[in-house]
Structure formats: C-alpha cells, structure tokens
Chains A and B, each alone.
Chain A
Amino acid sequence: MISVESLTKAYNGDAVVDAVTLQLPGSGLTTIVGPNGAGKSTLLSLISRILGPDAGTVIADDIDVLSAPGTEVAKKLSILRQDQNTTARITVRELVEFGRYPYSKGRLTEACHIAVEEAISYCDLVSLEERPIHEMSGGQRQRAYLAMVLAQDTRYVLLDEPLNNLDMVHATGMMRLLRSLADDQGKSIVLVLHDINYASVYSDRIVGMRDGEVVQDGPTSEVITPDALQAVFGTAFPVHDLAGNKFADYFR
C-alpha cells in the first residue's frame, strides 16, 4: 500500500496539490480522474518523487519514497509519463534494458536478460526490438516505454495519461494490457485517465480529484454515479448500465 500523507505542492502561493491524504492499494487497478487542472498529474509526479513536494510524506509499503536511496525506491515504484521526447538514439531493446538499471547499474545479469525478454514479449515488441524508438509510431513507442517500466519489475506502476494520442483500438489494447498486469502479475497499477468510461470499465477503484483535493475515493461502482461525478466534475452526467459496466453519458 502507498500511504500519502498531507502531500502539498504550490506554485506562487496557489496549491496545485493541497494537503492530499490518500491510500493506494497494493494490488489492482486504481484510476485517478478529474477535470483539467485538478492536480492529478502533479500528484503522480510527487508520489514518484520526480517533483519535490512542499510538505507531506509518501510511504510505499515500508519505504519512505522521499528520503530512501533512489535505487530502493526504483525497485518499488515506477512511473510512465506522457512526455516521451528524447533526442537520444535508442533501440527498443536498449530502452527496455534501462529498466534494469536499479538492479544492475548497467551490467546486466542473467536475471536481467530474462526480465527484459519477458517485458518485450509481454508488450508484443519482439519484432520491433532493434528499431530506434524515435522512428516508431506513438502507440508503439508507448508500449516500448511500458516494457521498460515492466522490466523495472516494481510492485507499483504509475501511469500518467497512458491513452493520450492513442486511437480507440490502441487505447483499448493498452488498457487490456494494464488490466492483465494487475491480474496476472499482482501489480498495483495507478493511472491518470481523462475518459471516465475507460476508468469505469477497467478499474477496481477510482479516485476523483478537484482543485488539488481528493473529493471521491472508492470502488468503481460507487464513484461512477451521477452524484459522485457531480462532486468531481461539477456536472451531473446520467449513468447507464450496459453489459455489466457503468457508462457515464457525458456527450450531451
């Protein structure tokens, strides 16, 4: 379990993440939703120590994320962010091998090679492994970065808007992959999504944020309701049952 305790980040006096206290489960798929500017991505950056908080603590299982040695944290928690520009000429395999850095410090062991192979085949990248990532399509590159995160073999995998720039087919493929990671490998997947219906169909748990605060936190069935969505988005959407899933009709 990741325990977040009064985590705060402010820019010029405006709190983007405002004293958030939150528990993220040690397994399953948890989605953070909320309107633009709610502080979702910032929260994820703070939890993964990319961004230094103004106050608060993050404890992942028994590790203090903000003060423990970098490699210890890197074996516990990984993050995939949306910006994937890199000037470096790196092939898919080389990229995935980077995921082993916390364990190998650059000298890959036999176990590392196995983990890399598994991650590459899990993400269906075997045929692409010698391709430089800057020559790949957005969907392929997204999978390559995911494979790197998988090779890192952490219990917690954080993803910031992994469906950005993916069409429906690829977005669904990505969500199935994440779901199977949670189910088959017992990982805890925490992601930020814009589309609440993807969240509804695939998540075990949904966290709703608004104005830097957590306003909803519960099992999917409790958060995808007109009242709860009203609290998060400020608009009430009708919610329909369809083939066993709940869908918010936000189109009208």
Chain B
Amino acid sequence: MPPLDTAVAPRNGSTRPGTKVRNRIRTVTSVIVVLFLASVAFFLTWGVDGHWDFALPRRIEQLAALLVVGIAVAVSTVIFHTLTENHILTPSIMGFDALYILLATSIVFFVGAYAYAEIPDLLLFSINTGMLVLGATLLYRWILSDATRGLYTLVLVGVIGGTLFGSVTSFMFRVMNPNEFDVLMTVLFASFSSIDTAVLGIASVLLVGGTIAAYRMISVLDVLTLGRDRAITLGVDYRRVVTVLLVIVAGLVAVSTALVGPITFLGLLAANLAYRLTSTHRHTVNFPVAALLAVTMLILGQAALQHILGYAGTLGSIINLAGGIFFVILLVRQSKP
C-alpha cells in the first residue's frame, strides 16, 4: 500500500504507548490526593485549642456532609457534561435544582405547613427526590432523545425552565403565609453548621447508590464522549442509557441540593479542572479526580468561612465567587490557540 500521508508526522520519541498519559494521570492524582488529605487534616485540627471531645465529632460530621455534597456534585456534573457533549453546562444551569426547590415548595404549598411538619424526614426526602428524578428524567429525556432538536433547544429549555421554576417558586412563597414560609426555609436550606443527621444518612445512602450505578456505566459513558451518533453505531441503546443516567444525575442533584442548596460553580470548576489536569476522556480517572477536587474546594471554603470570615457569608457564595472567577480564567486560557 502506498504511503497515505506525505507529511511525516513527528514521532512520539521513545515513549511506549500510553506511558506518557499514564504517568501524567498518576502524578496528577497523587498531588490531588495529598492536597485532599492535607485539607482534611487542616479542617479537623485548625483552632481546636484542646477542646477535642467537643470539636472533633462536630467537625467530622461537617466533613462527612462536605464529602457527600462534593462527590454528588462532581459525579453528576461529569455525567451531565458527557450526556450533553458540552463542558459548560451543569445540572444547575439546566434548572435541576430550581426544579427540586419548586417541588419541595409545592409540597408545603399544597399540604400546608402543619401537615408538612408531620411528615418524617426520611419520607419527605424520598418524596422530593422521587419527584425530581421523575420530573427531570421525563423532561430532559424528552428533549435529549429527539435528534431534530439540537443542543440549542436543550440549553434554551433548561435555562428558561430554570427561570420558570424559580418564578413559580417565588410566586408560591408570596402566596404562602409566613409560618409556612419559615418551615420551608428551614427544611430547604440546611446549612453545614446545623446538619440534620437523618438527612445526611439518607443522602449518603443515595450517594453511594448513585455513584455505584455511575461506575457500572463507566464504559458506556466513555463511548458517549464520542457523541450520540457514534454511540448508537457502536451499539449503545441511547434512549435507555440516557434515561438511566438522567435518573442518576437527578438523584445526585437532590442529594447536594437538600444538603446545601444550589452551588453552581462547584461542579463546573471541579469537572473542568479535572479534564484539564488529566487530559483524558476516561471516566475512571475523571470521576475520582473531579470528586476529590470538589471536596477539597468545599473543605477549604468551609474553613475559610469559619476561621477567616467568621461566618459572614455562605459557603455557596464563597465557592461561587472564587470558583466562578477561576472558571472564567480557565475558559479563556483553554481556548487560546
């Protein structure tokens, strides 16, 4: 056969197949693990002043919550990026958490605060999550599965839908009486300083379930990075896979939203930083790296909130501020020729 390419491509030097990429991934992962462990140690010990028996259990509980949220946000964002073939979208930009808040609000709205207070936490969380999973999956599968609607429609519907959900929610807020409103606020936005252990327990169970499910689909997710059409030609049952993945994403969003409320930039930054650092499409690498990055950022943010800012702010606003600026820088630098 004649040479097909007249221009001789530069050879890869002496590196054997894959070594360069593998070495890079190993280095990156090690550095991130060290960073993560350091931030954990730092978070648990900073400013304890000998009151260990008081401080430690509380901090461990906070740490657990941060872990759960970080992993949920990172995994759901990475899945969503793969699903939409777009690295700037997040479930949050697409209105998932607005939908969660809307659904939670409608329950208070329709059953009333007193009946609401009677519902056990576990049942409530399950109802909210179940509704989100059902609603989001139906809505987004409908949009994603129709080939004639492009990414355009998807983004539009998500962004506008997010506004719609938000507006309906604030409409309900207005119509509600103040007692109901108070009940709702305390349920909707548990902060890290006062975590409901029961909710944390359920959330962890859901997180573990969602993450295991995501890991079982890793090879399909890898194929999906090639795009919808190629995935189909490679034998992926696209509709079914998209449905399952959306269910996982919705479940994970419910976990993080129930614990901290929406943090738009956390997943965006963690996922994009992971892609950039690892230089691979493989989810076996990107899931853990993104999750570790997200958790580390949360821990550092929470530490800064407690020790530097003296609680003058919310974790969400700190992460969004620092993460948002950093993300924009990343965006601009990444696309330099």
Contacts of B15 in A (CB 8 A): 130
Task: Kindly state whether residue A89 has any CB partner on chain B within 8 Å.
Answer: yes
Q: Which of B9, B236, B237 has the most CB of A within 10 A?
A: B9
A11 CB to nearest B CB, Å: 7
User: Are A89 and B148 interface neighbours, CB within 8 A?
Assistant: no
Extra contacts besides A48-B232, A90-B226, A130-B21 (18): CB < 8 Å = A50-B147, A52-B147, A74-B233, A75-B235, A79-B233, A87-B86, A90-B225, A94-B281, A98-B222, A101-B235, A107-B219, A139-B5, A140-B5, A143-B4, A169-B6, A174-B4, A176-B1, A176-B2
Task: Kindly state whether residue A203 has any CB partner on chain B within 8 Å.
Answer: no
Alpha-carbon gap, A232 to B270, bound state (A): 54
Point out the residue from A140, A152, A169 that lies within 8 Å of B9, measured CB to CB. Answer: A140
Partner-A contacts on B (CB < 8 A) = 1-7, 9, 11-12, 15, 17-18, 20-21, 85-87, 147-148, 218-220, 222-223, 225-227, 229-230, 232-237, 275, 279-282
Q: A70-B235, A152-B234, A170-B4 are in contact. Are A127 and B148 (CB under 8 A)?
A: no
Taking CB as reference atom, which chain A residue is nearest B6?
Answer: A169
Taking CB as reference atom, which chain B residue is nearest A101?
Answer: B234
User: Are B9 and A74 interface neighbours, CB within 8 A?
Assistant: no
Binding site secondary structure of chain B: loop
Contacts of B227 in A (CB 8 A): 86
Q: Which of A72, A129, A173, A174 has the most CB of B within 10 A?
A: A173
B239 CB to nearest A CB, Å: 10
Taking CB as reference atom, which chain B residue is nearest A128?
Answer: B9
Task: Kindly state whether residue A111 has any CB partner on chain B within 8 Å.
Answer: no
Identify 13 residue pairs between A and B in the complex whose beta-carbon atoms are under 8 Å apart, listed by A's number: A72-B235, A86-B227, A88-B226, A89-B280, A90-B225, A93-B17, A94-B282, A124-B5, A130-B21, A139-B4, A143-B5, A170-B4, A170-B5
Q: A90-B281, A93-B18, A130-B20 are in contact. Are A106 and B1 (CB under 8 A)?
A: no
Quick one: which of A213-229 are within 8 Å of B by CB? none
Contacts of A81 in B (CB 8 A): 229
Task: Kindly state whether residue A51 has any CB partner on chain B within 8 Å.
Answer: yes
Contacts of B237 in A (CB 8 A): 69-70
Q: A81-B229, A86-B227 are in contact. Are A173 and B281 (CB under 8 A)?
A: no
Task: Kindly state whether residue A105 has any CB partner on chain B within 8 Å.
Answer: yes
Contacts of B7 in A (CB 8 A): 137
User: Are B12 and A127 interface neighbours, CB within 8 A?
Assistant: yes
User: Are A88 and B281 interface neighbours, CB within 8 A?
Assistant: yes
User: Are B4 and A98 interface neighbours, CB within 8 A?
Assistant: no
Contacts of B1 in A (CB 8 A): 124, 176-177, 180
Task: Kindly state whether residue A91 has any CB partner on chain B within 8 Å.
Answer: yes
User: Are A105 and B219 interface neighbours, CB within 8 A?
Assistant: yes
Task: Kindly state whether residue A185 has any CB partner on chain B within 8 Å.
Answer: no
Contacts of A87 in B (CB 8 A): 85-87, 225
User: Are A131 and B9 interface neighbours, CB within 8 A?
Assistant: yes
Alpha-carbon gap, A39 to B290, bound state (A): 43
User: Are B279 and A130 interface neighbours, CB within 8 A?
Assistant: no
User: Are B225 and A88 interface neighbours, CB within 8 A?
Assistant: yes
Task: Kindly state whether residue A73 has any CB partner on chain B within 8 Å.
Answer: yes
Q: A50-B229, A106-B219 are in contact. Are A98 and B5 (CB under 8 A)?
A: no
User: Are A101 and B219 interface neighbours, CB within 8 A?
Assistant: yes
User: Are A124 and B4 interface neighbours, CB within 8 A?
Assistant: yes
Q: Which of B220, B222, B235 has the most CB of A within 10 A?
A: B235
User: Are B234 and A99 interface neighbours, CB within 8 A?
Assistant: yes
Alpha-carbon gap, A70 to B169, bound state (A): 42
User: Are A127 and B17 interface neighbours, CB within 8 A?
Assistant: no
B53 CB to nearest A CB, Å: 48
Alpha-carbon gap, A69 to B234, bound state (A): 11
A151 CB to nearest B CB, Å: 10
B177 CB to nearest A CB, Å: 49
User: Are B18 and A130 interface neighbours, CB within 8 A?
Assistant: yes
User: Are A106 and B218 interface neighbours, CB within 8 A?
Assistant: yes
Contacts of B18 in A (CB 8 A): 93, 130
Taking CB as reference atom, which chain B residue is nearest A102?
Answer: B235
Alpha-carbon gap, A174 to B5, bound state (A): 10
Taking CB as reference atom, which chain A residue is nearest B4?
Answer: A173
Alpha-carbon gap, A125 to B226, bound state (A): 19
User: Are A130 and B232 interface neighbours, CB within 8 A?
Assistant: no
Alpha-carbon gap, A124 to B4, bound state (A): 7
